[in-house]
Structure 1
Amino acid sequence: MVRAKYQDVLDLGETLNIQNGDVNEKDGVLQVTGTAATQYDKNLIWDKIKEAGGDNPSDIMADIKVADESVYARHTVVSGETLGKIAKQYYGEPGKYQKIFQANTDILKNPDVIHPGQELIIPNL
């Protein structure tokens, strides 16, 4: 029953390709472990847990580690995106686009020029 409540969390874990994942139910508590690629992916999992169970759910215990703590996320540019839109997606503030630009000066020469297919580092703040 508790597994069904958190099925969206498990589905997201699969979509995000959480590594070393394990899910068990014991005494009405869903125990979830695994390793997310980045902190952003881990945050997405926690947001989904809170969506299903509230801010402090007692029927799930999750231990999610992060494989690469050197970056907040990695992002592949798609058509129509700007650094401002990408900054809004990851940081909630488009004005933080300069942080993304500075972290990617090896491939970006101008913050107003990005191309589909480029993989950008989204730095930790």
Structure 2
Amino acid sequence: MTAKEKYQPVLDLGETLNVKDGKVEEKENKLNVWGTTKTQYEKNLLWDKIKEIGGNNPEDIMADIKVEDTSVYARHTVKSGETLGKIAKHYYKDASKYQAIFNANTDKLKNPDLIYPDQELVIPNL
């Protein structure tokens, strides 16, 4: 199996995330990938997938992933049934950090218990 075949799920995720300026090269059974994600959260998703496949220190891949917008951790469009707590749990693995999301969106939100589908929220860097 080539390195490209091994890391195909990473390349597929990059396509799903619409990574900009994506470039892939394979030399001497080592995969080199470059690109720019929209947010740090998307970059983290790619690295998590790389580590899932190759372990914590994979030697058969070199990834240079940049982030387009470092002012936020992510941007999230609210879906029906979501709460700030559920959103915080998704991004930070801690529902109690919902207040950070609320504070970053006081221009749109007046009450942390009232969010609506299709609102775009900023998920701040912690």
Normalising by the smaller structure, the TM-score range is over 0.9
RMSD: 0.3
Q: Give the Cα–Cα distance (whole angstroms) in 2 for the partners of residues 52 and 9 of structure 1.
A: 9
The aligned runs of 1:1-125 (5 Å cut-off) are: 1-125=2-126
Any idea what the Cα deviations from partners look like across 1:17-47, whole Å, max 9, x if unmatched?
1000000001111000000000000000000
Unaligned runs of 5+ in 2: none
TM-score using structure 1 length: 0.99
Report the AA paired with residue 36 of structure 1: T
Counting matched residue pairs gives 125
Unaligned runs of 5+ in 1: none
Runs (4+) off by over 2 Å? none
Q: Give the Cα–Cα distance (whole angstroms) in 1 for the partners of residues 9 and 29 of structure 2.
A: 18
